[in-house]
A and B are shown apart, each in its own frame.
Chain A
Amino acid sequence: GIQVEQSPPDLILQEGANSTLRCNFSDSVNNLQWFHQNPWGQLINLFYIPSGTKQNGRLSATTVATERYSLLYISSSQTTDSGVYFCAVRSGGSNYKLTFGKGTLLTVNP
């Protein structure tokens, strides 16, 4: 099945810093989503972005489907941004499930 690799696995920032999270995938996809899982376990939709670029406030994402990667940018980070960021993809061959990466654990210190 499709493989999803996220980097870095851990990231520690000071409040106000910027960061870039990366997601590589091994096959073509028809769905790519970025999620933020907060310390209470809630999985929050950030972006649905199988291709192209989107922005939502301090967050933006870019997916280059032909090169099989996606990037999540966080600017002016806040302590509430802490948590685990997951990339999840759906490939054309198994179009009924999302395959998740192992996540990036982000800690933003005040």
Chain B
Amino acid sequence: DAGVTQSPTHLIKTRGQHVTLRCSPISGHKSVSWYQQVLGQGPQFIFQYYEKEERGRGNFPDRFSARQFPNYSSELNVNALLLGDSALYLCASSLVGSGNQPQHFGDGTRLSIL
């Protein structure tokens, strides 16, 4: 079975641009979460979606938004990119939205802002 897949793997943008990152969960998983990992730190929670509804939001500005589609895939959108948005963006999926299920991570999208 395929794991969590993310696209693209690498992306280079300039300040002020907009970016869309995509994630397909493991088949049968209904919850998708997004994390940002800057160099030298652990991943930081951005959003969780379950059954197409936002169930949690981390401490990120409104420039960050996301959505989940009927097939449970998800998009993360970032507007007005800043240099500080350069990071590895990780998507994770789990069977359900509650806490007692493991999360499985994709390989990430490495975003560089020039």
**Are A90 and B42 neighbours in the complex by a CB distance under 8 Å?**
no
Min C-beta distance of A104 to chain B, whole Å = 11
Which stretch, A38-46, A56-64, A68-76, touches the partner chain B? A38-46
Complex: chain B residue closest to A91, CB-CB: B99
Residue of A nearest to B107 (CB): A42
Which of B42, B50, B110 contacts A100, CB < 8 Å?
B42
For A82-107 the 0/1 string (1 means CB < 8 A from B) is 00001010111011111111110000
Contact of B102 with A96 in the complex, beta carbons under 8 Å: no
Q: In the complex the two chains form, is A41's CB within 8 Å of B102's CB?
A: no
> Once bound together, how far apart are the Cα atoms of A48 and B88, in whole Å?
23
B15 interface residue per 8 A CB criterion = no
- Residues of A in contact with B, size category: 20 to 34
Are B108's CB and A41's CB within 8 A?
A: yes
With contact pairs A43-B105, A45-B104 given, residues A31 and B99 touching in the complex (Cβ less than 8 Å): yes
Q: Which residues does chain B contribute within 8 Å of A99, judged by CB atoms?
A: 45
**B residues 55-114 touching A (CB-CB < 8 Å):** 55-56, 58, 88, 90, 92, 97-105, 107-108, 110
Most buried by B among A88, A95, A96, A100: A96
24 contacts between A and B (CB under 8 A): A30-B100, A41-B110, A43-B90, A45-B104, A48-B102, A86-B42, A88-B42, A90-B99, A91-B99, A92-B99, A94-B56, A95-B98, A95-B99, A96-B33, A96-B55, A96-B99, A98-B33, A98-B45, A98-B92, A100-B42, A100-B43, A101-B42, A102-B42, A103-B42
Give me the interface of A with B, judged by CB distance under 8 Å: 30-31, 33, 35, 40-43, 45, 48, 50, 86, 88, 90-92, 94-103
Given A88-B43, A97-B45, 6 other A-B contacts at CB below 8 A?
A42-B108, A43-B108, A48-B102, A50-B100, A86-B43, A91-B99
